[in-house]
Chains A and B, each alone.
Chain A
Amino acid sequence: MYNVSKTYPNGVKALVDVTLKIERGEFVFLMGHSGAGKSTFIKLLMREELPTRGQIFVASRSVLRMKASDIPLLRRSIGVVFQDFKLLENKTVRENVAFAMQVVGASPSQIKTRVEETIRMVGLQGKEESFPSQLSGGEQQRVGIARAIVNHPLIVIADEPTGNLDVETSWEIMDLLSEINRKGTTVIMATHAQDIVRRMHKRVVYLEKGKVVSDSVGEIA
């Protein structure tokens, strides 16, 4: 990400001249107060929004110069985990995870094996036929993570994944994200949780009013 600025049509300067490089396989925390630009950062990576200025590369491909028909391919290389999980209430755990593969046109046999594998990995065996409303918050977030990684993305973006969870459950989710990171996936996590950031001892990018004010390992400005 080079010299990226984003000003919304209503005049809000969400990001100001941000230059940032995240290596493959890194684990990066994105911190800052509400409105510091964390969400914009994520939206730019997903190409939900285009920057007002600057260049963004994901896996050495320019997000800006990308053809519209290539945007789905970009998004397939990124898995997203949300604070509010964003699961489909009328679908079971298995269907929620399979959905992500269905929409990219995977074959039924591929879907079956990958979904089984992923559900096992996030520790939800036995809950495959449950609906989201029957699960605890932590379990729902595991479904969200399973959905994010089922297509083998290069990058997992987690937007406050522990924001709605208690401390203990939060750590379970962090363990899961660490494990995903150990297997080679880049993890970018936006969060407010300072204790988690301290104990994880990973790179921390701190945003304030759209600017990077600190970028160091294990420290919070």
Chain B
Amino acid sequence: MNWSTIKYFLREARISLARNRLLSLATATTVSICIFILGMAILLFMNSGELIEKLESDVEIVAFLDEDLTLRERNQLEERLKKHPGVLSVSFVSRDKALASLEKKLGQGEYDLLATLEGNNPLPDSFRIKGENPRQVEQLAKELAGMQGISKLRYGQEVVRQLFAATRWVRIISVFIVVFLGAAAVFLVATTIRLTIFSRRKEIYIMKLVGATNRFIRAPFFLEGIALAGAGTVFALICLYLGYHYLLENIQPALAFLPLINDDRVLLNLFLGLGGAGIGLGIIGTFISVNRFLNV
């Protein structure tokens, strides 16, 4: 294939894009919206994944101890907990310390909680236990619950479970939207290409008669499809990039506990993937039309 052939392909693709301007615009826009939403959904997954991980690592089991436990019994219990498979770390929180931290949470020393409680600290001593695998906290808690000296166990699994459920729904809905829009994009690309094929059928017939290869006849259509999808994708990626950066710069400081992904390499990979997906839509759309309507 020589340079003049490539120039010929490019010229043909350009001419037919200009000829069906409105439809071309609609096609590029649909691809654009599709890729934009796909990108947003993926960013949402990635960030919610990050958030879950952070929350999970915060999850710990609080084991409240029996009131009448002696120091020796307590130490023995701590040893046993530390040796239990799946336990990462164990730390002791005395009842006084627990009260102090509660006081701090409530009013940062503005009033004397102990005095209000008439000198009786109702809180028990406790161990804070971290598991090796945050996802198995529930299981671990069940295993530890029967141990002698432990009166009650608590863990923050509920939060994590709800978050999991929420992100699953986000995921399912996004997949539906993306699949639907992807199909719409493929359909529109296919329609655009089909119109081009119709408007050029005489030319195509002559090309066939003088012995152009199928590949030669198809090439301009593929270029056209790729150009349409490419333009839409590039536009979507620019919007996505600007939008996400706006989020990082303006929202992140206000919501510091939200760990937003800001790793250039991760984001670059995401953008490359989305770019590939966009071009893929163009190629699939073109392929459908070329095979159905270009009888070469």
- A interface residues with partner B (beta carbon < 8 Å): 46, 68-69, 72-77, 79-80, 86, 88, 99-100, 102-105, 107-108, 111, 147, 151
Contacts and interface: CB of A to CB of B under 8 A. Distances in A.
B4 A72 contact: no
A46 B211 CA distance: 10
B105 interface: no
B19 to A, nearest CB: 11
Nearest to B200: A88
Contacts, number: 54
7 closest A-B pairs by beta carbon, nearest first, are A76-B211, A103-B212, A75-B211, A100-B210, A72-B211, A72-B213, A108-B4
Nearest to A102: B8
Given A72-B212, A99-B210, 17 more contacts: A69-B213, A72-B211, A72-B214, A74-B211, A75-B209, A75-B211, A76-B210, A79-B210, A86-B205, A100-B206, A102-B5, A103-B211, A104-B210, A105-B1, A107-B2, A108-B2, A111-B4
Nearest to B8: A102
27 contacts: A46-B209, A69-B213, A69-B214, A72-B211, A72-B212, A72-B213, A74-B211, A75-B209, A76-B210, A76-B211, A79-B210, A80-B209, A86-B202, A88-B202, A99-B207, A99-B210, A100-B206, A102-B4, A102-B5, A102-B8, A103-B210, A103-B212, A103-B217, A104-B210, A104-B212, A107-B4, A151-B210
The SS class assigned to the B binding surface is helix
A88 B203 contact: yes
Query: Which of the listed residues B1, B2, B5, B210 has the most CB atoms from chain A within 10 Å of its own CB?
Result: B210
Contacts of A107: 2, 4
A76 B216 CA distance: 14
A74 B210 CA distance: 9
Contacts of A104: 210-212
A173 B209 CA distance: 21
Query: Which of the listed residues B208, B211, B214 has the most CB atoms from chain A within 10 Å of its own CB?
Result: B211
B10 to A, nearest CB: 13
